[in-house]
A and B are shown apart, each in its own frame.
Chain A
Amino acid sequence: MAELRYAFFLGCTIPYRVTSYEVSARKVAAKLGIELVEMQDFNCCGLPIDPISHDAMLLLAARNLCLAEQQNLNITTLCTGCAITLRKVNRTLKENKELKETVNKHLKEVGMEFKGTIEVKHFAHVLAEDYGIEKIKQHVKKPLAQLQVSEHAGCHFLRPIEYAGFDNPEDPTVLKGLIEATGAKYFDYMDKTNCCGFTIIAIDDEISLQLTGSKLSNMHDAGAQAVVTVCPSCFLMFDVQQPRIEKVFGKTFSMPVLHYTQLLGLAMGMSAHELELDTHRVAATNMLSKIG
Chain B
Amino acid sequence: MPEKPRIGVYVCHCGLNIAGVVDVKKVAQDAKSLPCVVMSKDYRYLCSVPGQDLIKKDIKEHKINRVVVAACTPNMHEATFRKVLEESGVNPYLLEIANIREHCSWVHRNEPRKATKKSIELTTMAVAKARSLEPLAIKEVDALKSVLVIGGGITGINAAIDLAEMGFQVYLVERNESIGGRMSQLDKTFPTLDCSTCVLGPKMVEVYRHPNIKILSYSEVVGLEGYVGNFKVQVLKKPRYVIEEKCTGCGECSNVCPIEVPNYWNMNMGVRKCISIPFEHAVPLIYRIDIDNCIKCYKCVDACGARQAILFDQEPETVELNVGAIVVAIGFDPYDPAKDEQYGYGIYPNAITGLEMERLLSAAGPTGGVINRPSDLKEPKRIAFIQCVGSRNLKRNPYCSRVCCMYSIKHARQLKEKHPDMEVAIYYMDIRAFGKGYEEFYEKAGREYKVQFIRGRVSEITEDPKTHNLIVHAEDTFLGRPMELEYDMVVLAIGLEPHSTTDKIQEILKIARSPDKFLQEAHPKLRPVDTLAVGIYIAGACQGPKDIPDSVAQAKAAASSVATLLHKGKIRIESIIASVIEDACTGCGKCLKVCPFQAISIDQTRNVATILEAKCNGCGSCAATCPVGAMQLCHYKDEQILAMIENALPSGAKEE
In the complex they form, whether A and B have CB atoms below 8 Å apart is answered with yes
Residues on A close to B: CB < 8 A? Answer: 168, 170-171, 188, 190-191, 222
Residues of A within 8 A of B460 (CB): 170
What is the bound-complex CA distance between A171 and B341, given in angstroms? 7
Question: Does B341 lie within 8 Å of A168, measured CB to CB?
Answer: yes
B462 near A190 (CB under 8 angstroms)?
yes
Tell me which residues across on chain A come within 8 A of B463, comparing CB atoms.
190
B residues in contact with A170, CB < 8 Å:
340-342, 460
> Which B residues touch A168, using CB under 8 A?
341
A190 in contact with B465 (CB, 8 Å): yes
A222 and chain B: residue at smallest CB distance:
B465
The binding surface of chain B is classed by DSSP as mixed
Interface SS of chain A: helix, strand, loop or mixed?
loop
Closest to B395 in A: A161
- Chain A residues within an 8 Å CB radius of B166: none
Closest 6 CB pairs of A and B: A170-B341, A171-B341, A170-B342, A190-B462, A191-B462, A168-B341
- Does B464 touch A at the CB level, under 8 Å? yes
Which of chain A's residues have a CB closer than 8 A to the CB of B319?
none
B446 to chain A, nearest CB (A): 32
Q: Min CB distance, B502 to chain A, in Å? A: 29
A191 and B462 alpha carbons, distance in the complex (Å): 8
- Tell me if B347 is interfacial: C-beta within 8 Å of chain A: yes
**Residues from chain A with Cβ under 8 Å of B462 in the complex:** 190-191
Q: How far is the CB of A168 from chain B (nearest CB, A)?
A: 7
Contact string against A for B residues 457-473, beta-carbon threshold 8 Å, 1 for contact and 0 otherwise: 00010111100000000
A191 partner residues in chain B, CB cutoff 8 A: 462
Q: Which residue on chain B has the smallest CB distance to residue A189?
A: B465
When C-beta atoms are compared, the residue in chain B nearest to A188 turns out to be: B465
Judge whether A190 and B464 touch: CB under 8 Å: yes
The closest CB in chain B to the CB of A190 belongs to B462
CA distance in complex: A188, B340 (Å): 20
Known: A171-B341, A190-B465, A191-B462. 11 other contacts (CB 8 A): A168-B341, A170-B340, A170-B341, A170-B342, A170-B460, A171-B347, A188-B465, A190-B462, A190-B463, A190-B464, A222-B465
Q: Collect the chain B residues with CB atoms within 8 Å of residue A171's CB.
A: 341, 347
**Proximity string of chain B (428-465) to chain A, C-beta cutoff 8 Å, 1 when within and 0 when not:** 00000000000000000000000000000000101111
- A190–B462 alpha-carbon span in the complex (Å): 8
Give the chain A neighbours of B465 by CB distance below 8 A.
188, 190, 222
Q: Which chain B residue lies CB-closest to A194?
A: B462
**A214 CB to closest chain B CB, in angstroms?**
12
Bound Cα distance from A237 to B561, whole angstroms: 70
Question: B621-654 toward A: CB 8 Å interface, digit per residue (1/0)?
Answer: 0000000000000000000000000000000000
Residues of B within 8 A of A190 (CB): 462-465
Shortest beta-carbon distance from B21 to chain A in Å? 37
Closest-CB distance, B177 to chain A (whole angstroms) = 36
CA of A77 to CA of B114 in the docked complex: distance in angstroms?
64
Q: How far is the CB of B126 from chain A (nearest CB, A)?
A: 45
Say how far B176's CB is from chain A's closest CB, in angstroms: 33
Q: Tell me, in angstroms, the Cα distance from A171 to B342 when the chains sit together.
A: 8
Give the complex CA separation of A170 and B341 in angstroms.
6
Q: Which residue of A lies closest to B341 (CB)?
A: A170
- What's the least CB distance linking A221 to chain B, in Å? 10
Give A222 to B466 CA distance when docked, in angstroms. Answer: 10
CA separation between A168 and B347, bound complex, in Å? 14
A residues near B340, Cβ cutoff 8 Å = 170
- Tell which of A170, A171, A188, A190 has the most Cβ of chain B within 10 Å: A170
